[in-house]
Structure 1
Amino acid sequence: MRKVLLPLLILFILSSFSYSSSEKKVLTVKDMLGFKRISQLSFSPSDTRVAFVVRESDFEKSKYSRDIWMADMDKKEAFKYAFSSENESFPLWSPDGKNLAFLSNRGKAEDEEKEAKNQVWIIPANGGEAEKLTLAEEGVLTYKWMPDGEEIVCLTLESLSPSQKKKKKMDEEKKSDITIVDQKEKRKEFWGINLKEKKSQKIFVGDYGISEFDISPTGQKIVYSTNYTGEENDYTKFDLWVLDLNKKKASQLTFRDGSEENPLWSPDGEKIAFIAPFDSTLSFSQTDLWIVDSDGKGLSNLTLDFDRCVDEIEWSKDGKNIYFVAEEGTNNLIYSISLRDKKIKPVISGKRCCYDLKVGKKKMVFASADSVSTFDIYSSNLRGKNITKLTDLNPQLKDFYINPQEVISWKSQDDWDIEGILFKPYNLSKGVKYPMIVFAHGGPFGRVENYFLSRHLQVLASAGYVAFAPNFRGSSGYGNEFGVMLKGDLGGVDFKDVMSGIDYVISLGFVDPERIGIVGGSYGGYVVNWAITQTDRFGAAVSEFGVFDLRSDYGNTYIPRWDIEYLGSHYWEDPEPYKKFSPSSYVQNVKTPVLILHGDEDPNCFISSSQELYRALKDLNQTVQFVRYPREEHGFSEPNHIVDEEERVIFWFDRYLKDEEGKFSGKEVFKIGEDIKWEGKVLRVENIKIVDSYSGVKPKGKFLEVEFRISGKRDKDFSLNFYEEIYLLTENYERMLISGIPQGASEVKEVLLTGDALTVSIKKSQDQGYFQNTHKVTFDVDKELHSAELFIAGFPEIRLEF
């Protein structure tokens, strides 16, 4: 709670935050994070209800909360079903549909500094109190119902023995605890939990690498995938094994090279479907749908000639067909294949992205979104007809301007057809040349999909930029040949595709060729690092958790196999490609201002990569800023860090992509004394001054007092939260909220009022008269700070010099 900085009590009565429902708003990163996200659908055996997980942002704690929701297919409504102050996930219906199981980390952990581990909970399908079913010491990794519904099988980690626990505790107390790299301690175990007796029994102790599993229709066998070691670097070594629950013995099912994952028994128990790469020697080869007899015979690639990546698979209940989700350019669509004639048919088509497919007896359900909608749950019959929307989780979307996005295609420099997605500002004006930001996706065996929740791109467009995301060669979704083209050619054809795409967008007539920036993370960060060493065409760049030196990347990443796969050898066997394709080899060419963002705990693209880039650019006297995010791994997961990331990205581009008239990202930056007319209101900064103190209260640096006036018609509600919607941005991209609001008093000097919710509100009036309010706010700024940009919600930024 903020305090009043004076020995005088002042009452300051303010109304709550409100907006007129008729006024559309410009999307911000907080708005994007505020949309609910769905995942992990579970379809009831009766084909009438869908349980699913909803993720929401908690900005106060800077984390995501996940709860179980339920969608009723008859009523076409959704409601929160199982929730707590912790997280719920992975709902699974019992075979009779009377109960729903889920994972949750409710309760307290033994170590108060850590979160409790996931356990299996169960709740009646018609509602009631959830009951904790497991007490796994190391938590439950995943689980499945037995076909008879009387037992649940869990996968967990092996627990330490009493003597091992005692030694570990003593070592920690003596500060003699060490970690031996790659020393394995905990194997994976299968446990069975009887629901009636509430008893658990160890079924099988496996190896260190068991991941997904499925139970046969008879309940007598388990098929599971394992890479044996549990190490991330062995991602190409997953095999399928079958565990006989009667004999307590496991035998290997598949022996092909490459990785076999996502195994699913057929309804009759005779076959097992799974996903594996087309080319067993490359992890970035197209993923196909495979099938094998339960005795290991009859191995077959069912989508050999389909030439698109298969991401999800589901058996039909009669076992005659397999449904699957496939990557189709910028879309994710649903297909089926008949096991009788091996014919593939489209089921759900169009311009949409589908996920979490679940197939019932007569219906299927899936999550879907497109370029103008967030993800919701839909149902259809098994032929993909009668598509019905079951949820509307983000009705507030209609209150925002949606920046139009469209799929475009062009010829690359060597005549290949390349696709990408173009995002335009919602208020794009004819005849105006806009700055453009190029977004390079990660992978490189990945892609940009054409759905609304593309956070970087929608937020950039809202900030007044054209945003362009090319799916360059090496991306998934365009066939196997397309996807493997970067083997031995990192920074080659992909860079050509990016640059030719830029030329194509410029030819459309609304992009300023002199104001182009580039941003990307992971492999996209590599593309950024490569681009700025090969050309000075970019006016600004943002490199996020990317690769700078390939030899260093090999030595520090937890998946060095990636470097070997793309470069063809270890660096001591052939050092040339490591040098040739490393941006570090050409860093002396960089002239572009670079913002570097990286998480401290990134095990994939280790932070040393960004540190090396930063050090080189500093010693070369180039413009660079390096921002590190504590606790973050590969990509940013804490909502407040993501807000900071997006705002820094925009501010960096605003700073370096302005034109000679002082325009930032298509918006004019105003100065003191200028009237800013914006969406029916007028803002004017009347005065700024340095104040030594308020009633004896002194600043840590110096007090900067800003006086401003807002006026306009009373034709709609308007409000402004001073502590959340007014701030300064320094040249180092430090965001500074106000310290208080100066208030006059009759017997004392002007004082500084502070509080948690200081809001001014103007209500809509029937006579639609005019209002005019003058306010003062104070910032405690550094003594050496002499300029900053003032941001007041709903208006363009204002340049302050003091």
Structure 2
Amino acid sequence: MVALALVAALLVAATAPPDAAASQPATSFDLVTAVLEQPKLSFYTRHDLSADGRWAVYAVALANVAAGTVTTEVRLLDLSAPSAPYRVISAKTNAGAPLWPIARFSPDGLSLAVLDGAVGEVRVVGVADGQARSINVPGAQVRVSDLRWSPDGRKLALLATTPLNPAPLRGGVLVDDNWRKPMGLQRSSATHILVVDSGDGRLLARTSDELSPRDLDWSPDGSAIVLAAVRETDTGPVGGSGWTGQGIYLFDLASQSVRRVNKVVGLDYAASPRFSPDGRRIVFTQPVNGDVYKTGQIVVQDITTGHATTFGAKWERGYSDLAWLDGDRLIAATYEGVGCRLQVISVSAQTLSAVDEGDETACARSPVVGKNGQVLYVRDRFVGASELFLRAAVANPKSAAETWRPRAVTALDRHLGPNVDIRVVSWPSADGAFQIPGVLMTPIGSDGRRPLVISVTGGPSPVNARVMGDTLGQHLNLPMIAKGYAVLLPVTRGRGGYGDRFAAAIRRSGDYMPGPYTDIMGALDYAVKAGIADPKRVGLIGFSYGASLSAYAIGQGDQFKAAVLGDPGVADYLHNAYQKVTGYNLHIARSVSGFGNIYDPGVFQQIKRNSPLTYMSRTRTPAMLQCGVLHVSVEQGCLDLYQGYTHYRIPSQFVVMPRTGHGIAEPTLQADAEHRRLDWLNYWVQREPVPDLVAIYGRRSP
């Protein structure tokens, strides 16, 4: 069951970035490839610290656009020797999207448990000698997506997905009004927690099929595992909503029984469940008022008495990536403005204090706490690669405001393209209710008016470098800036990071499109009045909700010379609303868009006013649609819009990305989408003679 192998220690220089002058791409299209091939950290937590604080391990993805492959590496860093090279523990090349590996230190810090994409296998690698042994995961075709060592190092808890081959149904299935078609009638896979012996891989415990876990943590004594999970028996009949039963559960290993600790309402399921160091309490995040995308409060619950303390809502922030610093203090990533901050939170005093001192546009997130007080975390940027930072241990800390002096422990950024000025700007909303913020990016040293691209993200989620940066974002910023565009990211109303009133602006008024549209127009007005933008050269791009909002915007006038819409989720909210009349589906509709039951008087007209298709006859802006073939939006948003643009003879292209769901993951397809987007903007906004488009639409006069 245990196979031994020797893993070669590959040494690579870890400190010096490539020579910036020698590595500059020749064109903006070359820059697309260079940015995509820059080493990338994961959107999720794929790094860890050893118990003694000497070692750090992390995962990176290295794309090869020409080959259409991504190599993912697990790298080991000696933190006691900052100039020492890193060691590659694992390297796997995959055609298409990256298969992100995970590596976690054993409690004694002597071994690493490594997942590197292989089905049914976990490897345990010695930190000192590189010797590796394979643990075969029980079951056929089991794919492990996460793992945790038990406190004594004798067990591993695996988050594992197993394919199901249920017998064909022999009759119809009675469903309720919460049924959603994408869920089907039978599950094709099941997710479990498998507890195995870390030595020989024997299966020791397993959660039942009815529980679908998503996150986990061991109790300090190793007797239980806390889970954020959905339990099917809590969601009603087959085909139920699949979300209303989400909550926090305790899995007792001795009895292999599960009990609910708390119930969470809302699409954003409970996240980051973590045991306190004494094992008596569990902390996790949950939404405020069930609002989607807004995990705005923290719950600390006593697992014996059930008493729960809920706090954090008054600070009007979003919270993620919770970890205990000690028996009273937590560290968390919080969404504030367009940045993310690491905050130290006192549970007893219910106070909060910022510790990461990155600039206001950086996003600090995914903290991992070492036993001696070290903190390893990621800092994302709107332009340039994300980096890992280490905050060293502080002797005898007295308060949450203790000195925070992190240092970068990776050098992934290749300093590509022009130097960019990134700053937070704002303008008053048209209705006077808000000051609308935005992130403005322009080349340093450039003066005068320039073409402008307004870029609208999905959700409506927060606007920060984690979701809108070049490392992990939906569109690449740097190639557009290098081509001469100013790029402006508006924080339209209804998003997190600017207080509850701002975040609830859509839900409370049912203003899903018109209000946010005026925020976009305010961004354009600001850029023109500030002397930044040429009003005759303005483009609009969006993704998901941002694409739907952009489709709505170009139906209100001809201010934009071109639009690129990526995976617009819905174009006809009337059709969508007829599927959200009662139950949990209606709860989601009210939470996201503020829409009520379409059969209620007045709601039909409200929803019609918010639908992009309502304004198709007014649209004059040339539009490109980029849509994943595997996502529902290819029909519910993209095809609906394209049919309308075709009917009204609006210049348009409908680009369907193969093997793609919601968002493009394969680097070759990413490069193709970016090239098409730049071509479309350059032709319609800057009137450049793009050959493929000249052949269709003719040469445009300067």
Pair 1:405-2:422 in alignment:
yes
Aligned to 1:261, which of 271, 274, 277?
271
- The one-letter code sitting in structure 2 at the alignment partner of 1:120 is V
- The one-letter code sitting in structure 1 at the alignment partner of 2:571 is F
Contact 1:376 1:389 in 2 (8 A): yes
C-alpha separation in 1, matches of 2:157 and 2:51 = 19
Cα 1:63–1:35 change in 2 (3 A) is same
Contact 1:598 1:607 in 2 (8 A): no
Contact 2:163 2:188 in 1 (8 A): no
- Runs of at least 5 residues in structure 1 that lack an aligned partner in the other structure: 1-17, 107-116, 169-178, 670-727, 734-784, 790-797
Question: What corresponds to 1:677 in structure 2?
Answer: none
Secondary structure of the structure 1 residue equivalent to 2:391? strand
Aligned to 2:408, which of 382, 386, 389?
389
Contact 2:565 2:625 in 1 (8 A): yes
- The one-letter code sitting in structure 2 at the alignment partner of 1:56 is L
Question: What corresponds to 1:709 in structure 2?
Answer: none
Aligned to 1:310, which of 296, 302, 319?
319
Question: What corresponds to 2:102 in structure 1?
Answer: 90
Cα 1:157–1:82 change in 2 (3 A) is closer
Q: Cα offset for 1:325? A: 0.7
Contact 1:372 1:402 in 2 (8 A): no
C-alpha separation in 1, matches of 2:344 and 2:121 = 35
Cα 1:64–1:559 change in 2 (3 A) is farther
Question: What corresponds to 1:779 in structure 2?
Answer: none
Q: Cα offset for 1:621? A: 1.7
Question: What corresponds to 2:347 in structure 1?
Answer: 339
Deviations 1:281-337, CA, capped at 9 Å, x for gaps? x22445222211113522122313211111211111x32211111011111111111
C-alpha separation in 2, matches of 1:531 and 1:372 = 27
Pair 1:288-2:297 in alignment:
yes
Secondary structure of the structure 2 residue equivalent to 1:652? helix
Greater CA radius of gyration, 1 or 2?
1
Contact 2:301 2:309 in 1 (8 A): yes
Question: What corresponds to 1:597 in structure 2?
Answer: 626
C-alpha separation in 1, matches of 2:503 and 2:611 = 21
Question: What corresponds to 1:67 in structure 2?
Answer: 73
Q: Cα offset for 1:93? A: 0.6
Q: Cα offset for 1:374? A: 2.2
Question: What corresponds to 2:215 in structure 1?
Answer: 212
Pair 1:377-2:383 in alignment:
no
- The one-letter code sitting in structure 2 at the alignment partner of 1:592 is T
Q: Cα offset for 1:552? A: 3.8
Identity of aligned residues (%): 21
Cα 1:88–1:307 change in 2 (3 A) is closer
Give the alignment's Cα RMSD to 1 decimal: 3.1
Q: How does 1:193-208 map to 2 (within 5 A)?
A: 193-208=196-211
- The one-letter code sitting in structure 1 at the alignment partner of 2:477 is L
C-alpha separation in 2, matches of 1:302 and 1:180 = 34
Pair 1:151-2:155 in alignment:
yes
Pair 1:569-2:596 in alignment:
yes
Contact 1:539 1:656 in 2 (8 A): yes
Cα 1:630–1:99 change in 2 (3 A) is same
Deviations 1:138-195, CA, capped at 9 Å, x for gaps? 222322111110111223245658xx69x89xxxxxxxxxx99232365433322213
Pair 1:244-2:261 in alignment:
no
Question: What corresponds to 1:634 in structure 2?
Answer: 662
- The one-letter code sitting in structure 2 at the alignment partner of 1:613 is L
Q: Cα offset for 1:364? A: 1.0
Contact 2:35 2:470 in 1 (8 A): no
Cα 1:498–1:85 change in 2 (3 A) is closer
Contact 1:518 1:542 in 2 (8 A): yes
Point out the more displaced range, 287-296 or 84-93. 84-93
Question: What corresponds to 1:447 in structure 2?
Answer: 463
Q: Cα offset for 1:499? A: 0.8
Point out the more displaced range, 78-87 or 475-484. 78-87
Deviations 1:513-571, CA, capped at 9 Å, x for gaps? 12211110101101111101112211111111112111344679998864353243344
Pair 1:472-2:483 in alignment:
no
C-alpha separation in 2, matches of 1:555 and 1:66 = 44
Contact 1:192 1:200 in 2 (8 A): yes
- The one-letter code sitting in structure 2 at the alignment partner of 1:68 is V
C-alpha separation in 2, matches of 1:128 and 1:197 = 19
- The one-letter code sitting in structure 1 at the alignment partner of 2:309 is S
Question: What corresponds to 2:681 in structure 1?
Answer: 653
Deviations 1:396-446, CA, capped at 9 Å, x for gaps? 32x532332221122222331111111213562x34x31211111110123
Question: What corresponds to 2:443 in structure 1?
Answer: 425
- The one-letter code sitting in structure 2 at the alignment partner of 1:130 is A
Deviations 1:629-663, CA, capped at 9 Å, x for gaps? 111110111111111111111111221123xxxx6
Contact 1:53 1:88 in 2 (8 A): yes
- The one-letter code sitting in structure 1 at the alignment partner of 2:328 is K
C-alpha separation in 2, matches of 1:218 and 1:156 = 23
C-alpha separation in 2, matches of 1:607 and 1:651 = 25
Secondary structure of the structure 2 residue equivalent to 1:649? helix
Contact 2:246 2:263 in 1 (8 A): no
Question: What corresponds to 1:774 in structure 2?
Answer: none
Secondary structure of the structure 2 residue equivalent to 1:610? helix
C-alpha separation in 1, matches of 2:213 and 2:113 = 22
- The one-letter code sitting in structure 2 at the alignment partner of 1:289 is I
- The one-letter code sitting in structure 2 at the alignment partner of 1:441 is T
Cα 1:576–1:506 change in 2 (3 A) is same
Q: TM-score, normalised by structure 1?
A: 0.73
Contact 2:424 2:439 in 1 (8 A): yes
Cα 1:560–1:643 change in 2 (3 A) is farther
Secondary structure of the structure 2 residue equivalent to 1:337? strand
Secondary structure of the structure 2 residue equivalent to 1:486? helix
Secondary structure of the structure 2 residue equivalent to 1:30? helix
Secondary structure of the structure 2 residue equivalent to 1:502? helix
Question: What corresponds to 2:226 in structure 1?
Answer: 223
Q: How does 1:62-211 map to 2 (within 5 A)?
A: 62-76=68-82, 77=84, 78-86=86-94, 87=99, 89-106=101-118, 117=119, 119-135=121-137, 136-137=139-140, 138-157=142-161, 160=164, 181-184=184-187, 186-211=189-214
Question: What corresponds to 1:551 in structure 2?
Answer: 574
Point out the more displaced range, 60-69 or 625-634. 60-69
C-alpha separation in 1, matches of 2:20 and 2:453 = 32
- The one-letter code sitting in structure 1 at the alignment partner of 2:388 is I
Secondary structure of the structure 2 residue equivalent to 1:575? helix
Cα 1:630–1:572 change in 2 (3 A) is farther
Q: Cα offset for 1:601? A: 0.6
Q: Cα offset for 1:618? A: 0.9
- The one-letter code sitting in structure 2 at the alignment partner of 1:247 is S
C-alpha separation in 1, matches of 2:261 and 2:535 = 57
- Runs of at least 5 residues in structure 2 that lack an aligned partner in the other structure: 1-17, 170-181, 395-401
- The one-letter code sitting in structure 2 at the alignment partner of 1:52 is Y
Deviations 1:200-244, CA, capped at 9 Å, x for gaps? 234332424222121111111111122224989644642111122
Pair 1:42-2:71 in alignment:
no
Cα 1:188–1:435 change in 2 (3 A) is closer
C-alpha separation in 2, matches of 1:20 and 1:139 = 40
Give the paired residue count.
627
C-alpha separation in 2, matches of 1:151 and 1:417 = 53
Q: Cα offset for 1:385? A: 2.2
Q: How does 1:519-558 map to 2 (within 5 A)?
A: 519-546=541-568, 547-553=570-576
Question: What corresponds to 1:297 in structure 2?
Answer: 306
- The one-letter code sitting in structure 1 at the alignment partner of 2:151 is P
Question: What corresponds to 2:526 in structure 1?
Answer: 504
Q: Cα offset for 1:461? A: 1.1
C-alpha separation in 2, matches of 1:185 and 1:656 = 45
- The one-letter code sitting in structure 1 at the alignment partner of 2:530 is L
Secondary structure of the structure 1 residue equivalent to 2:660? coil
